[in-house]
Amino acid sequence: MPTSRLAGRRVVVTGAGSGIGRATALRLAREGARVTALDVVPAGLAELEAEAAADPGVDGRVHTGPVDISDEQSVVAAVSAAVEAGGGLDAIVNAAAIHYGDHTHTTTLARWQRIIDVNLTGTFLMTREALPALLESEHGGVVVNFSSTSAFFAHPYMAAYAATKGAIMSFTHAIALEYADRGLRAVSLVPGGIETAITGATPANLPADVDWDKFAKLMPTLRRGKFGGPDDIAGVVAMLVSDDGRYITGTEIRVDGGTHM
Ligand SMILES: NC(=O)c1ccc[n+]([C@@H]2O[C@H](COP(=O)([O-])OP(=O)(O)OC[C@H]3O[C@@H](n4cnc5c(N)ncnc54)[C@H](O)[C@@H]3O)[C@@H](O)[C@H]2O)c1
């Protein structure tokens, strides 16, 4: 693994208290980045701080902070603090999201709205606030947004979640073209099933009459059908944020262990 391809890069990671966001924050820091790791759950950030402190490769480059990405004022405060502390910003990784399983005909408007507010509007707010600093990056700013295979292929009981993940892809395409002439790159990461808190909670979130046969085609082919781990995604994010990803923009990178060949 290259140890310093991100040396001096300043990166904000949301959803850093758990799963993919946490693994990404640690990976980017190990590769030399100064990481502002944000989350709405303080306990998750405390766990990240402990992991970072125990990892000599991180060498103090992970700095945690609170944000609720669905709250405009919280986002404004968190991004401006990160930009000020780092003296600028080179990349943002929008990993924070929530997921509920439900039948569409029993999904309440409040639940639908909450998923949109966090996943889609939260990605917009974080990106909007980061853009002025990203456009000043001497390396060319990078936005990595999180879509999902549920945006491409039918996943049962998660229409609201899937709709936000499709919209995030469209949003990412639009900003990639809008700011390409100013050196910005924008890419959607598209994970398949990855072992994290979201997947761990999914069985309990599903409707009582869940039909498990509908999940059969969601199993990966690699590793005998086992889900991937957060590190399988974090390394790809590191590549996208680095100059190794310099010719990648306005597109999606699917990392799903061959689930949808
Ligand atoms: N795990 C998978 O199988 C999978 C598959 C496809 C896409 N994804 C996407 O990957 C990303 C990371 O997911 P994960 O699996 O690591 O999930 P996770 O639940 O482990 O982590 C999500 C993090 O987001 C944080 N968060 C939630 N609401 C927030 C808010 N309002 N403000 C700030 N932080 C908030 C949570 O506290 C949590 O720490 C998500 O965008 C998810 O949709 C995951």
Task: Give the confidence band of 3 by pLDDT, cuts at 50, 70, 90.
Answer: low
H helices present in the chain, as ranges: 19-30, 42-53, 72-86, 109-115, 122-134, 159-178, 197-205, 230-241
Start-to-end CA span in the chain (Å): 28
Nearest of 62, 70, 79 to residue 21 by alpha carbon: 62
Beta bridge partners of 251: 187
pLDDT at residue 44, rounded to an integer: 98
- Kindly tell me if the per-residue pLDDT of 29 is higher than 50: yes
Ramachandran area for residue 137 (φ above 0: left; ψ -120 to 50: alpha; else beta): beta
What is the pLDDT, as a whole number, of residue 251?
A: 98
Tens-place pLDDT, residues 179-206: 999 999 999 999 999 999 988 888 888 9
Helix locations, 87-189, DSSP H:
109-115, 122-134, 159-178
- Measured in Å, residue 14 CA sits from the centre of ligand 1 at 9
Return the domain boundaries, the chain: 10-255
| Residue 136 DSSP label | T
Reported residue count of the chain is 261
pTM (two decimals): 0.97
Mean pLDDT across the stretch 165-182?
98
CATH classification code of 10-255: 3.40.50.720
100 is catalytic: no
Residue type, 23: A
Provide the pLDDT confidence category of residue 219 given band limits of 50, 70 and 90.
confident
Model pLDDT, residue 2: 47
How confident is the model over 127-146, as a mean pLDDT?
98
Angle at 63 between CA 10 and CA 45, to 5 degrees: 130
Q: Whose CA is nearest to atom 25 of ligand 1?
A: 15
Which protein residue has the closest C-alpha to ligand 1 atom 23?
Answer: 15
What's the gap in Å between 11 CA and the centre of ligand 1? 18
Ligand 1 atom nearest residue 117's Cα: 31
CA of 17 to the centre of ligand 1 (A): 9
pLDDT of residue 74: 98
Q: What is the Cα–Cα distance from 86 to 56, expressed in whole angstroms?
A: 21
The pLDDT of residue 85:
98
Q: Which residues line ligand 1 (CB under 6 A)?
A: 14-15, 17-21, 39-41, 44, 67-70, 95-98, 118, 122, 146, 148, 191, 193-194, 196-199
Which atom number of ligand 1 is nearest to the Cα of residue 94?
41
215 pLDDT above the threshold of 90: no
CA distance 153 to 254: 12
Give the pair of three-digit tokens for residue 194: 């990855």
Residue 181 CA to ligand 1 centre (angstroms): 31
Q: What are the tens digits of pLDDT across the range 34-85?
A: 999 999 999 999 999 999 999 999 999 999 999 999 999 999 999 999 999 9
For a mutational test of ligand 1's pocket, the pick from 12, 14, 18, 255, i.e. the residue with the most ligand atoms closer than 8 A to its C-beta, is 18
